[in-house]
């Protein structure tokens, strides 16, 4: 496993449905995402938004699930649909399990493939802000 400030912990190996190989998902995270979102998912205003404590909130509002697969970093990822579905499912569990809906259905490769074919561009930030505001209201 690659060295770094985040390592695969024993509890990472009990990932939920949709994450058949947590170590592989972590490796894809390390190589493709953490450079901007930071190892702990905290992000920064200069690089990419935080995922920690917020990413699963999108699943509580209409359009949020689609948003997560259409944001530029996801939609334009070089990963296959299978690897990307696993990675998105892992990120939801790893960085925001507290907000993961009890009835969460994991992303499938086919769903990721369909959604990422319609990437968000300049509207991604405004849509993120609106969806998170709706989610915060819904979760109160």
Whether the pLDDT of residue 78 is over 90: the answer is: yes
Pick 20 or 14 by higher pLDDT: 20
Rg (CA), the chain: 14
pTM for this prediction: 0.88
**Is residue 93 a part of any domain in this protein?**
yes
Number of domains, the chain:
1
pLDDT at position 72 is: 94
Average pLDDT value for the chain:
90
**Is residue 9 a part of any domain in this protein?**
no
pLDDT at position 137 is: 96
The burial of 64, by beta-carbon neighbours within 10 Å (0-12 exposed, 13-18 middle, 19 or more buried), is given as buried
**Is residue 23 a part of any domain in this protein?**
yes
Q: Give the whole-number percent of the chain exceeding pLDDT 70.
A: 90
**Residue 74: count of CB within 10 angstroms of its CB:** 23
User: Residue 88: which CATH number?
Assistant: 1.10.760.10
Q: Give the whole-number percent of the chain exceeding pLDDT 90.
A: 85
CA distance 17 to 90: 9
**Residue 63: count of CB within 10 angstroms of its CB:** 13
- Domain of residue 42 covers 19-138
The predicted-structure confidence for 80-110, as pLDDT tens digits, reads as follows 999 999 999 999 999 999 999 999 999 999 9
**Is residue 3 a part of any domain in this protein?**
no
pLDDT at position 10 is: 41
**Is residue 1 a part of any domain in this protein?**
no
**Which residue bears the tokens 């930030």?**
125
**Is residue 2 a part of any domain in this protein?**
no
**Is residue 118 a part of any domain in this protein?**
yes
* pLDDT level of residue 27 (50, 70, 90 thresholds): very high
The CA–CA distances, whole Å, from 108 to 17, 39, 40, 112, 138 equal 10, 25, 25, 6, 25
**Is residue 79 a part of any domain in this protein?**
yes
């Amino acid at each position: 496993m690659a060295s770094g400030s985040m390592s695969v912990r024993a509890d990472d190996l009990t990932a939920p449905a949709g994450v058949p190989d947590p170590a592989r998902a972590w490796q894809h995270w390390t190589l493709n995402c953490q450079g901007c979102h930071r190892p702990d998912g905290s992000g920064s205003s200069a690089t990419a938004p935080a995922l920690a404590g917020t990413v699963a909130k999108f699943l509580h509002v209409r359009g949020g699930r689609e948003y997560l697969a259409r944001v530029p970093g996801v939609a334009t990822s070089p990963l296959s649909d299978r690897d990307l579905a696993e990675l998105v499912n892992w990120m939801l569990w790893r960085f925001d399990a507290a907000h993961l809906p009890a009835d969460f259905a994991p992303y499938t490769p086919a769903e990721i493939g369909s959604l990422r074919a319609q990437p968000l561009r300049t509207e991604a930030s405004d849509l993120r802000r609106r969806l998170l505001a709706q989610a915060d209201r819904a979760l109160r």
